[in-house]
A and B are shown apart, each in its own frame.
Chain A
Amino acid sequence: MSQEIIALKDINEKLLKELNIAGVTNIVFCIQCGTCSASCPSGRITAFRTRQILRKALMGLSEVLKSDDLWLCTTCYTCLERCPRKIETVPAIVALRNVAVENGYINQRHREVAHMFIRYGHAVPINSENIKKRESLGLPAVPPTVHSFKQALEELQTLVKKSEFDKKVNFVWEGDRK
């Protein structure tokens, strides 16, 4: 980034505002020491740099929302634990991801996980192989979760609609399918 010319058109003034709304205001205290990047399990094996993500966000560079790098954080919180300025690093990255999704930047594999969650109430739903395993262990074939109670799934799906999460991840309800 240091070698690049940053044009005004690359700067998204809304970005910091949106981070403010998400309650992540203390990234302005970042001194760019790099303790976060040095502690990062993803950064050790990829070019992902937490420090750079935070700097780009502070400058309002909207490229940060489009980049895959934003999704390489494992949310392990080691950087947050070690930050000498006590910056809310992980909540900042999560807030940036929220803004990215709002703007339509979400990859297909992630969208599928979100759809599983909406459809079944479990991000990882039961399957026939595990029904058999459960039975052989003497457990109920289907766990006593949202999987066993229709009303519970309806409750969850009401919450999805009320928070407009379905729209964010382009989920199409059964009755609305063409």
Chain B
Amino acid sequence: MKLALYLGCIIPNRYPGIEAATRKVLPKLGVELIDMKGASCCPAPGVIRSFGRKIWLVTAARNLTIGEQIGLDIVTLCNGCYSSLKEANHVLKIDNKEREEINAILAEIDRNFKGSIEVKHLAEVLYFDVGIEAIKKVVKRQIPVRAAVFYGCHLLKPSELRPWKSAEKPTFLDAMVEALGAKSVTYRDKTMCCGAGGALRSGFPEVSLAIAQERLKAMKEAGAECIVNVCPFCHLQFDLGQHQITQKLGENFNMPVIYYTQLLGLAMGFDPEELGIYMNVTDCKKLTEKIGT
């Protein structure tokens, strides 16, 4: 299958290792990625949508028209981008009045929202379109670690607009991680927010970090050896945020943080360097040593 790759901001501009890993592993699972040239910030639902709904909707609409021009459904690698693009796409498809207003603004830049494509999350593509069995088949190296699987919020909620239809006790990402040979540990408040979203990390970093600290404590207590996520903002919050928690709050978790396609890349036999795993702030050496790369 072919999909239009929506990069967003944090992945290409802060965690390019996630981009490199994704571009390496997806084609091996039969997913061809086409760049969305000229795409901008989704825009971020927590900040930009909170400041002005109209600029949020019209910017998301512009990004969607890039996918429409390519003629492919969009895949996002970020829960926040998923939220903005998926919900804007939904609103513009069902609300004629709002679509007309937005198209009137888009006409200024010779664009028009048609509503001809869908927006998917990487996890959705891997789980539904590729499938667990196909993932198991490409594993060359088992990942023998205890992982704290972290879903993040906007992958699951609002559940009415998500394919899983429920946000309570999801299991699909655990299954995806266990397909690589890892053990998904049970921990307290697993589906509770990482604390980065909603303009909290930029506006009130001390509250934001205190929320992340709660999650990290629960993961550590459960004996997790790493965090596996599917959102670069959760990734940044646990990775860079962990360093900030050590500095500001004096607690050191020493917990490697890895994005799903990076872990999948390791399982498929790629080197940690080409997956950008050592570009994380957290020390991922002990993780890769245990895997034997």
Select from chain A the residue with minimum beta-carbon distance to B57.
Answer: A163
From the candidates A122, A153, A168, name the one contacting B51 in the complex (CB within 8 A).
A168
Taking CB atoms, residues of chain B closer than 8 Å to A127 are: 13
**Is A139 positioned at the interface, with any CB of B under 8 Å from its CB?**
yes
**CB atoms of A156 and B59 under 8 A apart:** yes
- What CA separation (Å) do A159 and B199 show in the bound complex? 22
Comparing A1-9, A57-65, A140-148, the segment that makes contact with chain B is: A140-148
- What CA separation (Å) do A121 and B158 show in the bound complex? 26
Number of interface residues of B (CB under 8 A): 66
Taking CB atoms, residues of chain B closer than 8 Å to A78 are: 153, 157, 167, 191-193
Q: Contacts A45-B214, A125-B13, A137-B17; is A110 near B198 (CB within 8 Å)?
A: no
Number of interface residues of A (CB under 8 A): 64
**CB atoms of B279 and A151 under 8 A apart:** no
**CB atoms of A71 and B204 under 8 A apart:** yes
**Is A75 positioned at the interface, with any CB of B under 8 Å from its CB?**
yes
Q: Contacts A123-B43, A133-B17, A137-B274; is A98 near B210 (CB within 8 Å)?
A: no
- What CA separation (Å) do A94 and B49 show in the bound complex? 7
**CB atoms of B51 and A114 under 8 A apart:** yes
**CB atoms of B16 and A110 under 8 A apart:** no
From the candidates A74, A130, A152, name the one contacting B14 in the complex (CB within 8 A).
A130
The residues in B between 22 and 68 inclusive whose CB is less than 8 angstroms from any CB of A are: 23, 35-41, 43-55, 58-59, 62
From the candidates B37, B108, B168, B197, name the one contacting A159 in the complex (CB within 8 A).
B108
Taking CB atoms, residues of chain A closer than 8 Å to B195 are: 41-42, 74
- What CA separation (Å) do A42 and B197 show in the bound complex? 11
Select from chain B the residue with minimum beta-carbon distance to A151.
Answer: B38
Interface centre among A74, A109, A127 (most CB of B within 10 A): A74
Query: Can you list 14 A-B pairs, Cβ within 8 angstroms, ordered by A?
Result: A45-B210, A74-B196, A76-B157, A109-B203, A110-B203, A122-B13, A124-B10, A133-B279, A139-B20, A143-B19, A146-B41, A149-B38, A159-B55, A162-B105
B interface residues, Cβ below 8 angstroms from A: 7, 9-10, 12-14, 16-17, 19-20, 23, 35-41, 43-55, 58-59, 62, 105-106, 108-109, 111, 153-154, 157-159, 167-168, 191-193, 195-200, 202-204, 207-208, 210-211, 214, 274, 276, 279
A interface residues, Cβ below 8 angstroms from B: 22, 41-42, 44-46, 68, 71-78, 80-81, 90, 94-95, 97-98, 101, 106-107, 109-110, 112-114, 117, 121-127, 130, 133-134, 137-139, 143-149, 151-153, 155-156, 158-160, 162-163, 165, 168-169
